Structure 1
Amino acid sequence: MWPFATLAEAQAWQRDYRAGGHQPWHLDPEQTALSFTQGYLGFRDIGRISARTVSGRDARIGVALRGPEGGTAAIVHLVRYGTGPDAPWEVVGTDDTTFSLTMPGYGSLVRSPMMTGGRITGVDEGIRVQVRQPSSKAPLGNSCCIPAGGDDQSWKQSVSFSGPRDRVLTVVASTGGHIAEVERFTVTAVRTG
């Protein structure tokens, strides 16, 4: 899903890293999770690591708001992409508990408009859905904000998007507004063809 669109891109980074130490943060799952959250998704207030589990080529990194308020915003799932001890970390999704994005399914072929949905536990939530691609800073589509809440309740929201160039897109659902604009988020990867 991010930061490398293809294995060839990951291998090119490995060559650059071996030649001159280019962008060493790709070797750190915590820094990769924070770069994904703050840089790619644009969630600037989420800047603290709240949990860390690394087992071999698999990592789950909890990210949270910078201050003492609020809990874990998401558990970012990463895997090593490529071979060798310097294979970079790649974000492949989130592990979801009280806020999930299950529609469309991971890796699904999609087109605009796209129906999204999942489950949520919370009070007075407003869910925003964005469609992003690694080659663009701005979202390709944005839909805001469907009211939701309760205990393990389903939610659905349509989002239109345009201009996809990348084969893999990121769908991100977020909620917040109690103490920060984004307090929890969930992501999935979809394909454009």
Structure 2
Amino acid sequence: MPTTPAPGGSLPVLGSGRFQPLWPFTTLAEAQAWERDYRSGGHAPWHLDPDQTALSFTRGYLGFRDIGRISSHTVSGSHARIGVALSGPEGGTAAIVHLMRYGTGPEAPWEVVGTDDTTFSLTMPAYGSLARSPMVTGGRITGVDEGIRVQVRQPSSGALLGTSCCTSAGGNDQPWKQSVSFSGARDPVLTVVASTGGHVAEVERFTVTAVRTG
């Protein structure tokens, strides 16, 4: 069950309620400012590469440094779905990162809007809902001896806004639930991320959703 909506026939608009901009840009104005810098001086060309944007989101923003390999790559129009996996040979895809072009034209940068989930999902709080602390999070998971950690992040801050660890879970498509408190939110959209691991790496699977602050 994906945490982000599937694309429809018309061009979706980031921030309109259907899709939320998680990272690296918090507003369309920021994305357009990067486009101007890129045209004038070639600044940060990785924003035009969905693979590099997905890895930067995973390793840089979320801090999951063991995940450093692209396991799948699908681009369709303004949408990209990029599988990211552990750098080593062990373990499968950790998540399918869903990205969209933020803006129009060939130089519109890629923006993370969520993840598409199968065996590990984060469906509560609802995607695009209003953020409140404490926040009840939850979804479904398939696995063995899983310990779920939940974090709340925002692009403008390197520090976590909140974290909660760890809910024990496992079985086949079983529900999980966990509460997390957070503070210091100032960006319009926050990232809620749930992760699990401990078998071959600290983080082996993760799932994210977006909540709004106003």
Q: TM-score, normalised by structure 1?
A: 0.99
Is the aligned partner of 1:68 residue 2:89? yes
Q: Deviations over 1:28-64 (max 9, x none)?
A: 0000000000000000000000000011211000000
Q: C-alpha distance in 2, partners of 1:105/1:139? A: 21
Structure 1: which 5+ runs fail to align? none
- Residue of structure 2 equivalent to 1:143: 164
- Residue of structure 2 equivalent to 1:4: 25
Q: Deviations over 1:74-110 (max 9, x none)?
A: 0000010001100000000000000000000100002
Is the aligned partner of 1:130 residue 2:114? no
- Residue of structure 1 equivalent to 2:4: none
- Residue of structure 2 equivalent to 1:20: 41
Is the aligned partner of 1:86 residue 2:111? no
Give how far 1:18 is off. Answer: 0.3
Q: TM-score, normalised by structure 2?
A: 0.90
- Residue of structure 2 equivalent to 1:152: 173
Is the aligned partner of 1:181 residue 2:202? yes
Partner letter of residue 39 of structure 2? R
Displaced runs of 4+ in structure 1, greater than 3 A? none
Is the aligned partner of 1:98 residue 2:115? no
Q: C-alpha distance in 1, partners of 2:49/2:159? A: 26
- Residue of structure 1 equivalent to 2:3: none
Aligned to 1:13, the other structure's residue is in SS state helix
Q: C-alpha distance in 2, partners of 1:28/1:56? A: 14
Structure 2: which 5+ runs fail to align? 1-21
Matched length = 193
Partner letter of residue 170 of structure 1? T
Is the aligned partner of 1:112 residue 2:133? yes
Aligned to 1:128, the other structure's residue is in SS state strand
